Amino acid sequence: MSIEALARDNVRKLVPYLSARRLGGNGDVWLNANEYPTAVEFQLTAQTLNRYPECQPQQVIERYARYAGLTPDNVLVSRGADEGIELLIRAFCEPGQDAIMYCPPTYGMYSVSAETFGVECRVVPTLADWQLDIPAMAAQLDGVKVVYICSPNNPTGQLINPQDLRDLLELTRGKTLVVADEAYIEFCPQGTLTTWLSTYPHLVILRTLSKAFALAGLRCGFTLANPEVISLLLKVIAPYPLSTPVADIAAQALSEQGIAAMRQRVAEMTDNRQGLIEALQQTPCIEQVFASDTNYVLVKVTHASDVFKSLWDQGIILRDQSKQPSLQGCLRISIGTRTECQRLVAALQQQPGPQPTEKQ
């Protein structure tokens, strides 16, 4: 018998999520993972590596609660928001019985996490403007325990309409968790749902330090929810989810000084984004630039796969989204430094635009 034959059937069939790093590339302009483009320096202060860390480091929890306008019993910290996605499935979904729901095009880990645990996925495509199809979702909610909504949505870049989210929360009250993935919310803080937690006990919010806090390599995320939800997640989380150095740096990032630095980075990235959008709109091979509330821009490109490969060969690494539903011909571009953006635009200017159609 082969080793693969010993594996669970659903794992053998699983198509893994291909992160930016797994896709590889030999670039020097990395615009494919929605990271902050330059390193932020931190000094390790904790020297207690001989001891196991706290399961939920008190200073990290307290500082994030203060930052989010919540209380510590609303906050759980984990290895990135990706662990939060999994914990919710582990705590609330019975394999082979319950389902999750998500609305593509969106982040790929919702489906991978569910499939890993043998939990059914209900897929309800978004409307033409990538907003939620609430009637279609309502028709398929039976048996769904967790609905994942990414807002602002990755890879499309737009906030989900607040009224649609309210309608969904009313539809699901008492029977289904609604999880708002706010990984990019620092770029549009007015869109957060944190103030809704007191109204909707079944609302859960995912956050991360990977984007605006410039700490993608730290792997530190947060689940914000009512205390009853947090208590259940604490039953299934690993004994020591955060290493001591991670907790040390996370606490520094969440200090008043750290939050002020984050907001300065957001202002800089927002300015760079606007400059990039204006330049892309003047670029022949770019057919459409979609509005963005994030640190990336989705664009529709003439001969997208050829352009992607041409830039890849020049060391400019983008993210091809063409295989996602309704995103044929679309590339996602993370906002880099001003110099990186200028190099990207110069390379795109060399690409052929659409051919004029002959008049009959």
- DSSP states of 126-181: --TTS---HHHHHHT-TTEEEEEEESSPTTT--PPPHHHHHHHHHHHTTT-EEEEE
Name the pTM for this structure.
Answer: 0.94
SS3 of residue 207 by DSSP: strand
Is the pLDDT reported for residue 18 higher than 90?
no
Q: What is the CATH number of the domain that holds 167?
A: 3.40.640.10
CA distance 308 to 327: 14
Both 139 and 197 in one domain: the answer is yes
Both 164 and 212 in one domain: the answer is yes
CA distance 244 to 255: 17
Is the pLDDT reported for residue 358 higher than 70?
no
**Has residue 343 been placed in a domain?**
yes
pLDDT at site 17: 65
Both 264 and 244 in one domain: the answer is no
- Tens of pLDDT, residue by residue over 118-145, are 999 999 999 999 999 999 999 999 999 9
Q: Which residue has the tokens 């069939």?
A: 13
Look up the domain containing 310 and give its range.
3-35+258-349
Mean pLDDT (the chain) is: 94
pLDDT at site 356: 66
Q: How many domains does the chain have?
A: 2
The better pLDDT of the pair 29, 1 is held by 29
Is the pLDDT reported for residue 20 higher than 70?
no
Both 179 and 226 in one domain: the answer is yes
The better pLDDT of the pair 2, 255 is held by 255
The better pLDDT of the pair 78, 354 is held by 78
Is the pLDDT reported for residue 175 higher than 90?
yes
pLDDT at site 8: 81
pLDDT at site 181: 98
pLDDT at site 275: 97
